[in-house]
Structure 1
């Protein structure tokens, strides 16, 4: 079980679990079974779902809200690794799969509702229902592909190119996230981010005039 500090006494409704697995054509009985395996977590803005050093035994579906995953280097500097929005999955996958203490921290950037699925329940569910197994495999493959693209972008793209790709991938997130978190995600300073935005704004105005 998860810490009672975080777990709501409310369960997961069948309608909510149908949203999680909206791409699957499952029976009412299977949806009811899946709903029984998830736990609801409600976080206020600024609260943490996970802190470095914790055991990681759950995968988390973000039902509503926004979180960021970050780690702190040996010099004490924060590095934002991921933003997760509604209908995303998040966890410290390295720690979960290798059964090691978490390196990541996961913080709510606004009031957030997540559904937690224990690894044992995930394995049991995948064994019982091949459609669910394929669903989770596709989600993991998509996540690993996204992480690979991000690493390649950080090695090969300019800061402006990374920012443009960021706002394409997260079109509405700038309303929710502080500038320094975005700068940290992009691997640049807040000043550099402001400079990029000013440059793009000037170009947009010049195009509008012409």
Structure 2
């Protein structure tokens, strides 16, 4: 059952960078579904079929991978105005390899792959907008890989704080540690060193 759109769709945020006509807004309205997710709820898990991208209107989520030893590896946090999904599954037409967990009560808007295609066909300027977003996301992804390969744990933590300002109060230490690829003990030492300086 569809969650009522109790919030006005934030067109100016979701499609930031383009001016939409009333006709375009009305078309898009029918393609978007509102979703309310509670803290600790799993939005999707490994082996699920992934057909949605989610826009975070409010709240905070994270995607993570669980390896064969049961260890969690956080790939992404999604805060207000961010998009989240399992993109390996979404774009690769395969089952999910990740989990997505709500870590702060969230109000989301979700769009199926087919509805995104319909929006692109109806409004080429939106397709151009999202192509540019994907290009920027690819650049950020490669920068993160390089940072993980070359930066110290402290440098990675400082980059994390820059990327996700004010997020620490909403997430657990092990979430941050798993994102940085370090232990919670190492994270604690880094924080003490920064506070001392």
C-alpha distance in 1 between matches for 2:125 and 2:75:
30
Aligned to 1:147: 141
Match of residue 101, structure 2, among 82, 107, 120: 107
Runs of 4+ in 1 over 2 A off after TM superposition: 11-19
Q: Deviations over 1:75-106 (max 9, x none)?
A: 11111110011101111111011111100101
SS in structure 1 of the partner of residue 10 of structure 2: helix
46, 49, 60: which one aligns with 1:52? 46
Cα distance in structure 1, aligned partners of 2:30 and 2:6: 7
Q: Give the Cα–Cα distance (whole angstroms) in 2 for the partners of residues 71 and 22 of structure 1.
A: 30
- Mark the runs of 5 or more structure 1 residues left unpaired by the alignment: 204-210
Q: Is the 8 A contact 1:72 1:78 kept in 2?
A: yes
Give the corresponding residue for 1:73. 67
Confirm whether residue 161 of structure 1 aligns to residue 158 of structure 2: no
Question: TM-score when scaled to structure 1?
Answer: 0.90
Distance 1:80 1:112 in 2: 18
Of structures 1 and 2, the one scoring higher in RCO (CA 8 A, sep 6+) is: 2
Residue from 23, 40, 50 that aligns with 2:17: 23
Q: Is the 8 A contact 1:12 1:36 kept in 2?
A: no
Deviations 1:137-178 (A, max 9, x none): 122112221111111111110000000111011111111111
Partner of 1:92: 86
CA–CA separation in structure 2 for the residues paired with 1:38 and 1:15: 9
Contact kept? 1:13, 1:35, Cα under 8 Å = no
CA distance in structure 2 between the partners assigned to 1:13 and 1:197 by the alignment: 38
Count of equivalent residues = 197
Q: Is 1:123 matched with 2:109? A: no
Note the residue ranges of structure 2 that are not aligned, 5 or more in a row. none
TM-score, structure 2 normalization = 0.95
Q: Does structure 2 retain, via aligned residues, the 8 Å contact 1:12–1:38?
A: no
Q: Deviations over 1:109-138 (max 9, x none)?
A: 110011111101111111121111011112
Q: Tell me what 1:207 maps to.
A: none
